[in-house]
């Protein structure tokens, strides 16, 4: 993770009881802070609605934007739309405890919380598992040269499957008498 950024910091002493709203931008500069990130380019707006009560913070994140990633089929760069909602609960306690998957316990002495890592990981979860040109309107951004080569490779593989180990056509209708005795052992 990169250095702590004030842009993604929630300062608890500045929150009012009830609704607090924040807007964060996740762009190329934000993504460059994470070494070995699968995403290097994008523009995502994150709207955060934080509801403060006496001992709890209820955070609702709304991610909207695009990230640039290659298509899994044709390797063409796509601007994939991101639209996802996430939630997080923070509860004040005697000490920090991040073991619970539903509630994050923060010590009452904490004065701020940096959302950088949470925003980054949520963005990665918002990316579709399969990245494809299929959902795009015509004309699709597909790389036609790659698709033609893939079709040619599939055709060659189908032909190779029809050949046996000697390079001859495999005649599935004929039984090899050498195997008949072994087949009898199964019965």
Of 169 and 140, more confident = 140
Higher model confidence: residue 11 or residue 151?
11
Whether residue 12 lies inside any domain: the answer is yes
Mean pLDDT of the chain: 82
What gap in Å lies between CA 84 and CA 65, rounded to an integer?
10
Same domain for 50 and 29, yes or no, is yes
| Separation CA 4–CA 147 (nearest Å) | 43
- Which domain covers residue 14, as residue numbers? 6-135
Instruction: Look at residues 115, 135, 155 and tell me which one is the last residue of a structural domain.
Output: 135
Non-local (6+) Cβ contacts of 135 within 8 A are none
163/111 same-domain check = no
Residue 159, both tokens: 């032909």
Per residue in 63-111, pLDDT (tens digit) is 999 999 988 877 788 889 999 999 999 998 888 888 887 889 998 888 9
pTM above 0.85, yes or no: no
Backbone angles phi, psi at 100, to 5 degrees: -75, 130
- Total domains present in the chain: 2
Residue 1 resides in a domain:
no
- Regarding whether 163 and 124 lie in a shared domain, the answer is no
Tell me, yes or no, whether 37 and 71 share the same domain: yes
Residue-wise pLDDT tens digits, 104-121:
999 888 899 999 999 999
Whether 96 and 178 share a structural domain = no
């Amino acid at each position: 993770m990169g250095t702590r950024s004030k842009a993604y910091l929630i300062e608890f002493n500045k929150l009012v009881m009830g609704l607090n709203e924040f807007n964060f931008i996740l762009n190329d500069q934000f993504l460059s802070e994470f070494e070995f990130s699968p995403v290097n380019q994008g523009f995502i707006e994150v709207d955060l609605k934080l509801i403060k009560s006496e001992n709890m913070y209820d955070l609702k994140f709304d991610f909207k934007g695009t990230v640039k990633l290659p298509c899994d089929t044709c390797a063409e760069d796509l601007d994939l739309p991101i639209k996802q909602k996430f939630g997080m609960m923070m509860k004040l306690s005697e000490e920090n405890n991040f073991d619970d998957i539903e509630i994050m316990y923060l010590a009452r002495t904490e004065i701020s919380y940096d959302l950088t890592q949470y925003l980054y990981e949520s963005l990665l979860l918002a990316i579709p598992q399969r990245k494809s040109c299929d959902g795009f309107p015509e004309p699709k951004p597909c790389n036609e040269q790659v698709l033609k080569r893939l079709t040619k490779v599939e055709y060659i593989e189908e032909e190779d499957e029809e050949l046996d180990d000697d390079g001859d056509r495999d005649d599935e209708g004929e039984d090899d008498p050498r195997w008949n005795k072994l087949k009898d052992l199964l019965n």
